[in-house]
């Protein structure tokens, strides 16, 4: 306590010069909090689990064209036959056929379902065969798995995000709550199980989706002439750097059906990178990272320079204290304590400003520049950003004090007394 009071008296005695330092620390804290919050949200978003797995997953690239030997075949017939052949391959663990339903693909369809006729939720439609969950290793309800869900659009499985949206508007909502097609109160849509939370891609938030299982009859009846997508998971022991080449050379010809030809098997990790580039996320994230790092370096150099210059000006005082019997550790603790106390004095006011910025959502998570953050504002987010900012600034203060103080401590006491 005596140490703190002594430092406070020293700060007050130099209030004119310390006032500028306090103002700088205040502004630096607000800026540093914003930078830490930016990088923290970005890293959290990028590295948190997707909710599904794309390792060892491939997407077939197919071509339909040329002479046909059977004019009665529809596109649906061709795709279904290719899917059956693919499922019989020894290296394939699971396969699925779907329409506009792949993650990180850009081809989507949306619809709305309603509870009690008026409580509607809009979500992406996943029209697919039963193997979809196994291909991407999503987590469904073991008691009511997706593969056992009756086929058709009268039976649906909600993703966790879609379920949460219903529950937010209707607290009594459950898996037993009957649904209807929005705008058609006479229709009845029965819920199956629930798909655990997953994200559309690495920079996205949890995805609200309606899962509908399709069987052969439904596909042939409603998607006869549509273009489908086929994905499959390879057994880990069979996958490797040469699998794609071997697949095109050996397996692809066996999957051809009439005038449907398999041209390639694209690893889904490659699909992921292409989607992020095409969606503009890679450029936005790179731009954000460059700006944040640029500001961080400028703040770092500016703050260190301030305390460096401040400590250098007190060179004679440091040497005089040494001459009067103080140890080097005592002098350093005095200077470091004063610097950290200056930081402590501005911390609470600066945190109040930062918190109000977050509450007002002033450009945080709302601008196009940083719209890739699906991290909701919360006190925990604010506190983590504040702690990170405080420790970084404290580190800069210590570096700005330590090196010039170390140099000043080498001065001879006689020289210091002469200067004084």
Please answer whether residues 61 and 264 qualify as being in contact, where contact means their C-beta atoms are separated by less than 8 angstroms. Answer: yes
216 and 97 inside one domain: yes
Q: What angle do CA 106, 109, 115 make, to 5 degrees?
A: 135
Give the integer Cα–Cα distance in Å for 224 and 252.
23
Do strands 119-128 and 209-213 pair parallel, antiparallel, or not at all (unpaired)? parallel
225 and 175 inside one domain: yes
Asked whether residue 271 is assigned to any structural domain, the reply reads: no
Asked whether residue 8 is assigned to any structural domain, the reply reads: yes
Low-confidence residues of the chain, pLDDT below 70? 1-18, 311, 314-318, 320-321, 323, 325-326, 361-374, 407-420
Residue 90 burial (C-beta neighbours within 10 Å; 0-12, 13-18, 19+): exposed
29 and 73 inside one domain: no
Asked whether residue 78 is assigned to any structural domain, the reply reads: yes
83 and 221 inside one domain: yes
78 and 32 inside one domain: no
Please answer whether residues 211 and 158 qualify as being in contact, where contact means their C-beta atoms are separated by less than 8 angstroms. Answer: yes
Total domains in the fold of the chain: 2
Q: Which of 200, 228, 258 is the last residue of a domain?
A: 258
110 and 191 inside one domain: yes
What DSSP letter does each residue of 377-395 carry, written as one string? Answer: P-HHHHHHHHHHHHHHHHH
Range of the structural domain that residue 288 is part of? 2-48+280-419
Asked whether residue 25 is assigned to any structural domain, the reply reads: yes
Give the integer Cα–Cα distance in Å for 267 and 54.
8
290 and 379 inside one domain: yes
155 and 248 inside one domain: yes
183 and 83 inside one domain: yes
pLDDT of residue 356: 84
Give the integer Cα–Cα distance in Å for 368 and 373.
10
Asked whether residue 391 is assigned to any structural domain, the reply reads: yes
pLDDT of residue 371: 39
374 and 284 inside one domain: yes
96 and 226 inside one domain: yes
pLDDT of residue 16: 61
Instruction: Give helix 15-47 / helix 328-360 axis angle, nearest 10°.
Output: 60
> Is the full-model pTM beyond 0.75?
yes
């Amino acid at each position: 306590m005596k140490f703190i009071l002594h430092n406070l008296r020293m700060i007050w005695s130099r209030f004119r010069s310390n006032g500028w330092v306090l103002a700088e620390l205040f502004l630096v804290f607000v800026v540093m909090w914003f930078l830490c919050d930016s990088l923290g949200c970005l890293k959290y978003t990028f590295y948190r689990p997707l909710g599904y797995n794309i390792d060892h997953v491939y997407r077939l690239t197919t071509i339909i064209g040329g002479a046909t030997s059977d004019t009665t075949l529809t596109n649906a017939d061709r795709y279904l036959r290719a899917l059956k052949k693919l499922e019989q391959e020894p290296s394939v663990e699971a396969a699925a056929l779907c329409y506009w339903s792949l993650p990180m693909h850009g081809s989507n369809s949306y619809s709305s379902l309603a509870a009690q006729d008026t409580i509607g939720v809009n979500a992406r439609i996943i029209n697919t065969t039963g193997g979809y969950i196994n291909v991407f290793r999503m987590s469904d309800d073991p008691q009511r798995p997706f593969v056992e869900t009756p086929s058709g659009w009268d039976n649906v499985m909600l993703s966790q995000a879609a379920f949460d949206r219903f529950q937010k508007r209707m607290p009594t909502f459950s898996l037993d709550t009957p649904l209807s097609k929005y705008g058609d109160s006479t229709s009845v849509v029965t819920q199956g199980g629930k798909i655990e939370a997953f994200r559309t891609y690495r920079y996205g938030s949890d995805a609200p989706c309606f899962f509908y299982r399709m069987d052969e009859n439904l596909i042939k009846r409603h998607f006869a002439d549509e273009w489908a997508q086929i994905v499959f998971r390879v057994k880990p022991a069979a996958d490797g750097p040469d699998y794609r080449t071997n697949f095109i050379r050996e397996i692809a010809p066996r999957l051809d059906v009439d005038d449907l030809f398999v041209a390639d098997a694209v690893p889904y990790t490659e699909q992921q990178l292409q989607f992020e580039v095409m969606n503009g996320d890679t450029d936005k994230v790179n731009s954000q990272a460059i700006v944040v790092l640029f500001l961080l370096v400028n703040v770092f150099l500016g703050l260190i320079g301030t305390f460096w210059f401040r400590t250098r000006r007190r060179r004679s005082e440091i040497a005089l204290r040494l001459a009067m019997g103080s140890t080097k550790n005592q002098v350093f603790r005095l200077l470091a304590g004063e610097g950290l106390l200056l930081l402590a004095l501005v911390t609470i006011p600066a945190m109040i400003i930062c918190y109000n910025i977050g509450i007002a959502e002033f450009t945080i998570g709302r601008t196009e520049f940083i719209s890739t953050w699906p991290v909701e504002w919360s006190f925990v987010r604010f506190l983590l950003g504040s702690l990170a900012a405080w420790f970084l600034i404290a580190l800069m203060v210590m570096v700005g004090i330590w090196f010039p103080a170390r140099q000043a401590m080498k001065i001879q006491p006689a020289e210091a007394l002469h200067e004084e």
